[in-house]
A and B are shown apart, each in its own frame.
Chain A
């Protein structure tokens, strides 16, 4: 058994959040550069601006986007770990609270009905999974809502099959149009049930742009969906162009014989994601 004080978790969440807010991931930046090279007109102007912004933000430690998001904290906890100290969720939220204050990040969390801001960007959306070993891995994803709002969930029937899955992915991006800050990254959860499919979609977004599923049949879905999305012609910021999505990433889990859940989680062009381990 390994004892970990949750103060260490707070510190790790704090440092991951501070880094994530000002930095676009390298694979995302590389994909945007490639898109910029092949686009023209207003879409090219948008991509050039986005790439310049990324450099300015990182250099000056300013949030790369003012929507510093809802804090998504995904933890893989080794089952030989024993936590001591503050309650785990309190420690995580304290890390978020301090980072959003010290980083001059926007506080974007509010009551859903009164719309009164909680003032410190808490609570975070916290997911914990128990895994083998005695380590704790934390992924911090500041998720903006321009793109989150454009996500969708489908409870397909088994007979709709692969074609239904691809249609659902493409239709979600088509309907989102210019709103989620394209070119988008598309996380898809296939299978599981109503709730686990949504989390699979979120986890699919943690894969680097350019990643392909290890299963050949799933890779085919990813490639076909991406091809059809890019044929939509929406382009960067909706200004028209060849690149509407940087990639489609799928996560799969077994489902019920009666169903085929498909969750499509849209991520804007600015992927921010930091990982750490204790």
Chain B
């Protein structure tokens, strides 16, 4: 399986095609519904974000608490479609890629192509395996949101599939 280190370069992203399995290693940032709303409030007020979005990879996820001696609890992906309303603007601001589960919208697809970015699918429901691939976890923004806060995760060999690539291709079958 192809292995890539984060942050991804544009060359890395352009080498990926929908359906490719990839093992990611490096830093990813969690954010789901409430964190995205806070990020947008910061942007709308013209404030600096509490982390650097340029080149970042966002993971649509909210972990379980870590057991003693572990870096993270179970931490699989949440449904990405709820972030359809947020993702295009973040890609325009320099976000490189996102990880989640399930198909995203046509608007997200256009933003991926325009900004040469990609969207990865982690396997939904595989929370324990993903939790074990996290070697370090630190809350870096909005701690009052508990599991919905932004966590900086260091991951090793995080298994994902390229779901929507920089060329407008998608792995998803719509059942039509």
Residues of A near any B CB (own CB < 8 A): 41-42, 45-46, 49-50, 52-53, 56-57, 60, 62-68, 104-108, 115, 117, 119, 146, 149, 173-174, 177-181, 232-235, 237-240, 244, 268-270
Q: Report the Cα distance A234→B103, complex, angstroms.
A: 11
Most buried by A among B19, B63, B129: B129
Residues of A within 8 A of B2 (CB): none
Q: Is A63 in contact with B125, judged by CB distance below 8 angstroms? A: no
Q: Is B62 in contact with A106, judged by CB distance below 8 angstroms? A: yes
Residues of B near any A CB (own CB < 8 A): 19, 21, 34, 61-67, 73-76, 78-79, 81, 101-103, 121, 123-132, 145-148, 159, 161, 171-176
Q: Is A57 in contact with B127, judged by CB distance below 8 angstroms? A: yes
Q: Is B127 in contact with A239, judged by CB distance below 8 angstroms? A: no
> What is the total of A-B residue contacts with beta carbons within 8 Å?
154
Q: Report the Cα distance A165→B14, complex, angstroms.
A: 46
Q: What are 7 A-B residue pairs whose CB atoms fall within 8 Å in the complex?
A: A60-B128, A65-B76, A174-B175, A177-B103, A179-B79, A181-B102, A181-B124
Residues of B within 8 A of A53 (CB): 123, 125-129
Residues of B within 8 A of A108 (CB): 62, 147
Please give 4 more A-B residue pairs, beta carbons under 8 A apart, in addition to A66-B130, A238-B171. A49-B129, A66-B62, A106-B63, A237-B121
Q: Is B73 in contact with A52, judged by CB distance below 8 angstroms? A: no
What's the least CB distance linking B33 to chain A, in Å? 8
Which listed residue (A67, A104, A239) contacts B171, Cβ 8 A? Answer: A239
User: Known: A104-B64, A115-B34, A117-B146. Is A237-B123 also a contact (CB below 8 A)?
Assistant: yes
List 4 A-B pairs, minimum CB-CB distance, nearest first.
A232-B175, A57-B128, A53-B126, A240-B173
